[in-house]
Structure 1
Amino acid sequence: MKQEIAFFQREELKVKPDSASLGFGKYYSDYMFVMDFHAELGWHDPRIIPYAPLTLDPAAMVFHYGQAIFEGMKAYKTADGTIQLFRPEKNMSRLNESCDRLCIPQIDEDFLLKAIKQLIFTEKDWIPEGEGQSLYIRPFIIATEAYLGVRPARQYQLLVILSPSGAYYGDQLSPVKIYVEEQYVRAVIGGVGHVKTAGNYAASLKAQEKADANGFAQILWLDAKENKYVEEVGSMNIFFKINGEVVTPKLNGSILPGVTRDSVIQLLKYWKVPVRESKISIEEVYAAHERGELEEVFGAGTAAVISPVGELNWNGHTIVINDHQIGQLSQDIYDEITGIQLGKKEDPFHWTVKVSTVEV
């Protein structure tokens, strides 16, 4: 795709929020990227326009049949003012995997990454620089065709919006309490659990509401067939350090292949820390705790990066991990990944991608 990206100037820029009260996903920058798809035209009309509400037909197929996918990325500003992305090619690739599963036309990954860089550079003053802060990037695609027949849509819109954000859980490294869900399920093998589609998150809300009411930050999902094997947390992949070895559930078609998950595994192998991807039951986790071998539990995801888990509640059992304190390995992984993202540490994996005027 060699289309030029049009730019439409905003009449008046927004007042930026106080960096001390950003939270996560509460504020949005001045501009957004938009591109349309039509069966006869392909992806066309790429443009950066003022952030504004959308106008959609009430019969737009996204409302009725759920063709909606998204990604989550971040931009960081280093001490010298350089803007960096973290493994953005992985997000572009995963977006296309989601497109394939939801029967949405493939996007040109290089072109979309170029567009995201141009949008970020336009909005560079929106990148917060405080501890644990970043510019969250949300690319998403929705079916816009007005039609009530059940089939893949023939018209779509791709958008990218930006949100200056603080730590996902407030105190970033304070261990969270997680509830192991046994009644509801999020995804099944053969379904859409391995892609980022809106329906996965809609399916999680009932259980999350119950968890919130009981003081838990997140849900830990078990497999839908046997209600036995650990899968993932609502917004993160999950890792267990048991007797010196790190174990994370093996990708099976119902678990999202997280970019941070992959980064953690690569980093542990680089450090020569034993790490294994395999099925692990909640009974095994509990038994390890009872033997005194469950040393650390942590989640890994774009939003939180690393989130230590201080407590799991399963089947009436309270599993306290490391006396509700962050483990040393969790701290080391967090420091290393965020250090690479912020340009404070060497990047031996070549994970960071710089955003510059030359590229856009």
Structure 2
Amino acid sequence: MAEFGESFTAHMVTSEWTVDGGWGPLELGPHAPVSVPPSMVGLHYGQVVFEGLKVYRQADGSVGIFRAQAHAARLADSARRLVIPPLPEPMFLKAVDLLTAANQDSLPRDAGSGLSLYLRPLLFASDSSLALRPARSYKFVLIAFVTEGFFADEPDPLPVWVSPVHTRAAPGGTGNVKFAGNYAPTYWAQEEARMAGCRQVVWLDAIERRWVEELGGMNIFFVRGSGSTPQVVTPPLGGTLLPGVTRDTLLNLSGRLGYEPREERVSVSQWQEECNEGTITETFACGTAAAVTPVGTVRYRDVEWNVGTGMTGPVTADLRQLLTNVQTGRVPSPEGWIRFVPAPTPRNAAS
């Protein structure tokens, strides 16, 4: 299996927006390079947003896109924040239908294979202009690749490093949207985490440098207690956190297992103290690419502590299994969560 995001399927879907015509027809064609001018607004000023969603083989052999409408809404929110014309939801859904139908045979017939089709929608400013203003033309591109998952090569819980210096997002900024410019600035801290022997960086808030916000490009959860009624706690959305679709899914699903979902701020010192006391028994990250990924060890400045036993806990394991079962149709999901793919549509079908 190729590394995450490096081996793409044979097709892609595109559309272009102009001032006079708005969004043009969707076109399904071969996966190919996109020609852009060197003076393109998106290259110079970063007017670029994207999404990530997955398609799963269902237990009955059909193919379903997981929570496509939620991803359509989040892409539209991201676009509006960057003054990009949002892609209408019906057009977004038609695009993911087209690409999934064209590439569904790349998914194994076995719903338990652990593989999914990752879809990457991208909206970018395509103007040839260096004027410091929003662009006057845009392009939509949708590509896909088959993946095992972001941490498929990591069988054990992650060791993570809390950054004492760098922050991911500030109030009033773009932390709550999937803006391309949010990601490259995190590489430095991620390299520092790697040099500290950790797989991911934990982000604290930009004001007090105290409150845990996210883990890498993922949302973070803490499990308080054990047994039949633990609490599943995640930081509240406040403009600096990405409103993760997987985060929302797990908050929704926790009640099925008898867990109490809570949105509550947790400080880094509180995290350490409650782990040492045995109050916080598990910690995990979640996201479309990562699914549910346990955290085993935390390093902050010159201190290190284990979360629980340092191994995958029962709440994390149960939520991960339930999420997988919902995504693959083994257990019922709320209405509209699974978008079943229609029969393949002829090439260059219009929205």
Fold similarity call, TM over 0.5? yes
The answer for the alignment partner of 1:17 in structure 2 is none
Distance of 1:112 and 1:242 partners within structure 2: 39
Query: What are the superposed Cα offsets for residues 253-290 of structure 1, whole Å, 9 maximum, x if unpaired?
Result: 01000000001111113434122112211111111012
Query: What are the superposed Cα offsets for residues 40-66 of structure 1, whole Å, 9 maximum, x if unpaired?
Result: 111113201111111111100011110
Q: 2:332 aligns with which of 343, 346, 352?
A: 346
Report SS of the residue matched to 2:186.
helix
- Over the residues paired in the alignment, what is the CA RMSD in angstroms? 1.6
Which deviates more, 119-128 or 182-191?
A: 119-128
Report SS of the residue matched to 1:185.
coil
1:355 aligns with 2:341: yes
For the 8 Å contact 1:172–1:304, the answer to whether it is kept is no
For the 8 Å contact 2:18–2:136, the answer to whether it is kept is yes
Which deviates more, 60-69 or 237-246?
A: 237-246
The answer for the alignment partner of 2:33 in structure 1 is 53
Q: 1:261 aligns with which of 229, 242, 247?
A: 247
Distance of 2:335 and 2:90 partners within structure 1: 20
Where structure 1 has 5 or more consecutive residues not aligned to the other structure, the ranges are 1-20
The answer for the alignment partner of 1:11 in structure 2 is none
- Partner amino acid, structure 2, of 1:136: Y
| Deviation at residue 184 of structure 1 after TM alignment | 0.9
Report SS of the residue matched to 1:132.
coil
| Deviation at residue 305 of structure 1 after TM alignment | 0.9
Report SS of the residue matched to 1:323.
coil
Runs of at least 4 residues of structure 1 off by over 4 A?
none
| Deviation at residue 358 of structure 1 after TM alignment | 8.1
The answer for the alignment partner of 1:14 in structure 2 is none
Which deviates more, 41-50 or 29-38?
A: 41-50
TM-score normalised by the chain length of structure 1: 0.91
For the 8 Å contact 2:236–2:265, the answer to whether it is kept is yes
For the 8 Å contact 2:13–2:98, the answer to whether it is kept is no
The answer for the alignment partner of 1:292 in structure 2 is 278
For the 8 Å contact 2:98–2:344, the answer to whether it is kept is no
Summarize the alignment of residues 165-204 of structure 1 with structure 2, pairs less than 5 Å apart.
165-171=147-153, 174-204=156-186
The answer for the alignment partner of 2:306 in structure 1 is 320
| Deviation at residue 359 of structure 1 after TM alignment | 8.3
The answer for the alignment partner of 1:18 in structure 2 is none
| Deviation at residue 81 of structure 1 after TM alignment | 2.1
The answer for the alignment partner of 1:13 in structure 2 is none
1:278 aligns with 2:260: no
1:82 aligns with 2:68: no
| Deviation at residue 172 of structure 1 after TM alignment | 6.2
Which deviates more, 209-218 or 100-109?
A: 209-218
Query: What are the superposed Cα offsets for residues 102-122 of structure 1, whole Å, 9 maximum, x if unpaired?
Result: 000121111211121111101
Q: 1:151 aligns with which of 109, 127, 133?
A: 133
| Deviation at residue 79 of structure 1 after TM alignment | 3.8
- Partner amino acid, structure 1, of 2:246: T
For the 8 Å contact 1:23–1:166, the answer to whether it is kept is no
Q: 1:29 aligns with which of 9, 13, 16?
A: 9
For the 8 Å contact 1:295–1:322, the answer to whether it is kept is yes
Distance of 2:102 and 2:344 partners within structure 1: 13
Q: 1:71 aligns with which of 51, 56, 66?
A: 51
| Deviation at residue 193 of structure 1 after TM alignment | 0.2
- Partner amino acid, structure 2, of 1:209: E
